[in-house]
A and B are shown apart, each in its own frame.
Chain A
Amino acid sequence: MIKTPEFQGTHLWERLHWAKENLDKVQSDVRVVYEDPEDMENPAKILVPDPNWMACALQGGVLPPVEVYWELAKDEAQPDFEKHTRGYLLHNTKPVDAMTEDEAIEYLIKKDIPQHVWSTWNEGNKPKMVICRTHQLPEHRQWRNAWQITDDIELAA
């Protein structure tokens, strides 16, 4: 495996250049299905990991800790937000080490799915979020806008 350069302090966008040039894409067949209680009129959503991003996650030393995105999200949530002034957190925070695929999916959930979904995923009448494989999704998309997490879903331990 190619060694990741020391990237702390290097602009994240430049690191992605390095990754694009040096890492093979990793097409994960893991999908995250979730329902947003604040958006119950719409069908279940499905999160699809990016193959270039997954390569970075498995390689290590490229991506910032997920908490950096939470900090930026806090800034953006301020009513007077106009422009990010703490973008340096993406570039200067020590990058995370290599992750397993499971750890990468957990990172992705915490970055790209609303916190009110993943932090309470197993509260209520049924799970709000399920991690599955592509073959476990419906084969056809004809009724895509009616897809929901089934009420009697059996969760693996």
Chain B
Amino acid sequence: MAYGNLKFDTLITSDSKNTSVDKSIDTSYIFNGVAKAWIYAQDGLGSILDSYNVTSLDDDGTGDGGVNITNDMSSVNYVITGMTDDDGTSDSWALVDITNGTQAAGSFDFETHWGNAGNNRTNSDMETYLVVHGDLA
């Protein structure tokens, strides 16, 4: 059985497990703070394993991709956080970054790469995890 909707602007807890002093939060804080889009992309960007608010993924080359968003952000001023799989390595780092100048309200590009003490940054295909926070259009 499906539940109905509960509409409210403020959440209040008695905090009975801890201080027993009421604490409240405006639900708009919750809405504004949650992730607006996320994606888990396969190594090599061959497919999207799971996602939210994404239309498609661009495979632009080795360690080079892009994400297209379904419900655009309100501007280009939003935040992207990301992680990559280190493939079990213990002597190098694996990173994802946003490709300079590509952030638009409905898309952004990223690059995945590795490096270590003996090697400069080298673009490489990796499993990638990206999350978008900010305001929606």
Contact = CB atoms under 8 A, between A and B. Distances in A.
A112 B75 contact: no
Contacts of B72: 69, 72, 84, 87, 90
Contacts, number: 108
Interface stretch (A40-48, A93-101, A118-126, A149-157): A40-48
Contacts of A82: 75
B137 interface: yes
Contacts of B58: 45-48, 112
Contact of B105 (A20, A42, A45, A84): A84
A42 B52 contact: no
A13 B69 CA distance: 11
B105 A108 contact: no
Given A72-B106, A90-B71, A48 B62 contact: no
Contact of B70 (A47, A48, A53, A134): A53
A25 to B, nearest CB: 8
Interface in A99-124: 108, 111-112
A43 B61 contact: yes
A52 interface: yes
B5 to A, nearest CB: 11
8 contacts: A11-B71, A16-B70, A48-B46, A50-B51, A51-B47, A90-B137, A108-B56, A145-B61
Interface of A: 11-13, 16, 20, 25, 27, 42-43, 45-53, 56, 63, 69, 72-73, 76, 82-84, 87, 90, 108, 111-112, 134, 141, 144-145, 147
Given A46-B58, A111-B55, 18 more contacts: A12-B71, A13-B71, A42-B60, A45-B59, A45-B61, A48-B59, A50-B54, A52-B52, A53-B56, A63-B70, A73-B106, A83-B74, A90-B71, A90-B72, A108-B55, A134-B46, A144-B125, A147-B61
